[in-house]
Amino acid sequence: MNIPRSVLALVLLGGLLAHAQAAPWVAGLHHMTLADPVDDRPMQALAFYPATGVPHNMRIDGYPLDVAEEAPVALGQFPLLVLSHGNTGSPLALHYLATALARQGFVVVAVVHPGDNARDHSRLGTLSNLYGRPLQISAAITAARDDALLGPYVNDGKVGVIGYSAGGETALIVSGAQPDLDRLRQYCLERPSDGDACKTHGVLIADRSELAPKADSRVGAAMLMAPLSLLFGRHALASVHIPVLIYSGDSDQLVAVDRNAEALARKLPVTPDYRLLAGAGHFVFMARCDEEQHARMPALCKDAEGVDRRHIHHSLQRDTAAFFSQALSAPLLDERSAASAAPRQKQR
pLDDT at residue 95, as a whole number: 98
Cα separations in angstroms, 174 against 88, 163, 282: 20, 11, 23
Write down the mean pLDDT value for the chain: 89
Give helix 309-327 / helix 95-103 axis angle, nearest 10°: 50
Contact 113, 84 (CB under 8 A): yes
Whether 5 has a pLDDT exceeding 80, the answer reads no
Q: What is the pLDDT of residues 231-282, one digit of tens each?
A: 999 999 999 999 999 999 999 989 999 999 999 999 999 999 999 999 999 9
**108, 101 Cβ separation under 8 angstroms:** yes
Measured distance CA(336)–CA(21) in Å, rounded? 6
Q: Are 267 and 240 within 8 A, CB to CB?
A: no
Percent of the chain, pLDDT > 70?
Answer: 88
CATH assignment of 25-335, given 3.30.9.10, 3.20.20.10, 3.40.50.1000, 3.40.50.1820? 3.40.50.1820
Query: In the chain, what are the domain boundaries?
Result: 25-335
Is 308 in contact with 280 (CB distance < 8 Å)? no
pLDDT of residue 330: 66
Least trusted range by pLDDT, from 93-107, 183-197, 214-228, 307-321: 183-197
Specify the DSSP class assigned to residue 285.
G
pLDDT of 332: 58
Which residue in 135, 157, 133 sits closest to 145, CA to CA?
157
Q: Alpha carbon 62 to chain centroid distance?
A: 19
| Rounded mean pLDDT, 309-336 | 85
